[in-house]
Chain A
Amino acid sequence: MARAMETGNHTAGYALAVAGEANRDARGCVCGAYPITPQSEIIEFLRGFVFTKGCVVPVESEHSAMAVCIGASLAGARTFTASSANGLAYMAENIFAAGFYRLPVVLIAVNRTLGPPWNIWVDQGDSLMLRDAALLQFYAESHQDLVDTILVAFRVGEDERVLLPVLVALDGFVTSHTQMVVDLPEQELVDRYLPHCKIPHRLRGDHPTTIGGLTWPRETEHHRIEIQEAMERVPQVLTEALDEFEQVFGRRPHGALSAEHTDDADMVLIACNTMARTLRNVVNTRRSKGERIGMIKSKMFRPFPREELLAAVSNAKRIGVLDRNHSPGSGGIFWQEVATTLQPCPDVIVQDYLVGLGGGDVTPRFIDEIIDDLASRDKAGKPVWKEVAV
């Protein structure tokens, strides 16, 4: 392992580069690249990497970036790209297409607030806008989590039982532009971990295929059912991918979620990305004072790990969800998923907290206030807006 001090963006760029390079003896790799703050250093890093077989194409828009990935994937290559905020919004049509074509493109989302008006700081409304695409979604809490999750993403997305695009999200600036010590796995280990990318329905002259023609309602329904079934196979494929990861790299990244101190906890808080790190500190401090409190780091958002979540909160009476996103007219998007999952447990209070929108800092003091609020409730209420810390 090469220990390094790297920014989140260069860490992501490195992971994509070695994953792409690992396919050099097969059909190589392709990245469609278009810059947007705070993602640009990922594609700049990739443009500097000299691939044995493959290339980065600097196209004129995100829409084209994903289109290049789709074309290359259908031609058999390992493919990846990265974007943020309005770039993801503009790419959205083709993200849906990649999912419907069943292509394992890996997409890095450096979370940023959607505009207008313009704001470059972190907010998860951009990647969560894509929740209804046929797209796996993972949220990485640290640089190490990021590298590991990206490698796992290729492994899971390209598995023939899945064959779907995978999004890996990190916080804009908080993760993308800060440095952490990280183990960057060497190429030969990645070569061992990632098998050659096989797209079973790739285009080849000996078996001419037309991809993406017209369908009737019944065929559409079957197509969607197949995608749903593929999503349902993800937990199993993910477990195998993590087992293998542990064998090759000697450490085990978190799976769909990580339940911490939940066994005896009456109260559980749920968060993802860097918010989960801050939450962990607060939870540990309060536990040391004797409070029965636990937390869940939510990592996989699609498919949503309902069973794991239900099992993890089986003793909790109160659940607080931290949402760094907002679905107008409803509330936080993670909360919606958690509340749906908790339907069989009507006595549990599931309260939503909208925090850190538009890049506001989510500080330990905020989380303390949320915990106090949750502890004092006798029932859940409307989503609570936590104002931005200044």
Chain B
Amino acid sequence: MREYKHKLLGYLRREILPTTHCPGCGCGQVLNAFVNAIDDLEIDPKNIISVTGIGCSSWIPSPYLKCDTLHTTHGRAVAFATGVKVIRPQANVVVIAGDGDLAGIGGNHLIHAARRNVGLAVFLVNNYIYGMTGGQVSPTTPFGAVTTTTPYSNAEYPLNIAEVVAAAGANYVARWTTYHIRKLIAAMKEVLQKKGFSFIEIVSQCPVSYGRRVGLRDGVAFMEYFKKSSVGVGTAENMSEEELEGKIVVGKLVERHRIEFTESLRRINESCQKRASGE
């Protein structure tokens, strides 16, 4: 029997596959998209440093992707990645983590790294829930949803994290879902080539810890839901807040060309050195 070999399998640590993700989870799609993006761009994985937080989505690169990986504490991936970036400015420093991790417990780091415009590629996998700990309410859970910590109904409104990051000053912000896999790959490629803080909110699915409590029992149900609920940014511009209720606005939300943080540091340093040497 001939062994089936996917052309991108070389990027992964085959010996530890399959992944620990549940059936129908979106994390595999995100990994697939990311590996496609680096393959298309012919980026050598030696030049990628992936930094993850804690949560199922932090297991997208860790330990499956064959590149340097720093699996950090919960919520702090962006701050760890800042440390890596300032000393390795040429490397592709990529952060992949969940909504709870990046928008909840680590929200402050996210906002400040965006404001600082550190040259990181940040992929926030938003499955509307704390997946790894068993489906508790997260900062992106919809109002009224039932979760293990909102057994009667969620009393809080969700955070529009992509808009928060855009407002904080990031150079690039987009939102796609796991249904829009080709657009997602294209956006990832843009991000990997972009200087400055670049951010994609990837709306993803957790059928096991979230979906089954809100009537979306498997991955396919989620794909249909994402397809039905998504509207492009252009269309969304002409819609009222009421019309946008329950919709997922997809596309590029912001693109700026502010100077990247390590570059800015380098320039200041250079001018100080010039001044010191009396030039």
Contact = CB atoms under 8 A, between A and B. Distances in A.
Contact of A33 (B107, B134, B139, B149): B149
A117 B74 CA distance: 12
Given A58-B149, A115-B73, A37 B133 contact: yes
Contact of A48 (B134, B139, B151): B151
A115 B72 CA distance: 9
Interface stretch (A39-47, A101-109, A159-167): A39-47
Contact of B73 (A40, A43, A116): A116
A35 interface: yes
A61 B149 contact: no
A60 interface: yes
B60 interface: no
Contact of B107 (A40, A60, A86): A60
A61 B151 contact: no
B62 to A, nearest CB: 10
Given A58-B149, A60-B107, A116 B136 contact: no
Given A35-B149, A44-B149, A118-B54, A58 B136 contact: yes
Given A44-B149, A115-B73, A116-B73, A58 B137 contact: yes
Interface in A288-303: none
B47 interface: no
A117 B71 CA distance: 8
Nearest to B148: A44
A116 B72 contact: yes
Contact of A118 (B71, B134, B136, B149): B71
Contacts of A86: 73-74
Given A44-B149, A61-B105, A35 B71 contact: no
Contact of B104 (A40, A60, A116): A60
B134 A40 contact: yes
Contact of B134 (A35, A47, A90, A117): A35
B238 to A, nearest CB: 34
Interface in B99-117: 104-105, 107
A40 B54 CA distance: 15
Contacts, number: 49
B32 to A, nearest CB: 25
Contact of B133 (A36, A115, A118): A36
B98 interface: no
Contacts of B105: 34, 60-61, 90
Interface residues of B, number: 20
Interface in A118-175: 118
B113 to A, nearest CB: 17
Interface in B127-176: 130, 132-134, 136-137, 139, 148-151
B75 interface: yes
A70 B130 CA distance: 25
Contacts of B73: 86, 115-116
A61 B75 contact: yes
A86 B150 CA distance: 24
A60 B104 CA distance: 5
Given A47-B150, A48-B151, A118-B71, A60 B139 contact: yes
A40 B133 contact: yes
Given A35-B130, A36-B133, A43 B149 contact: yes
Nearest to B137: A58
Given A35-B136, A40-B136, A47 B104 contact: no
Nearest to A47: B149
Nearest to B159: A60
Nearest to B71: A116
Nearest to B100: A60
Interface in B58-75: 71-75
Given A36-B133, A47-B148, A60-B107, 15 more contacts: A35-B133, A37-B133, A44-B136, A44-B151, A47-B149, A48-B151, A58-B136, A58-B137, A60-B104, A61-B104, A61-B105, A86-B74, A116-B71, A116-B73, A118-B54
Shortest Cβ-Cβ A-B pairs, 4 listed: A61-B105, A60-B104, A35-B133, A35-B136
6 contacts: A47-B148, A48-B151, A58-B136, A58-B137, A61-B105, A90-B105
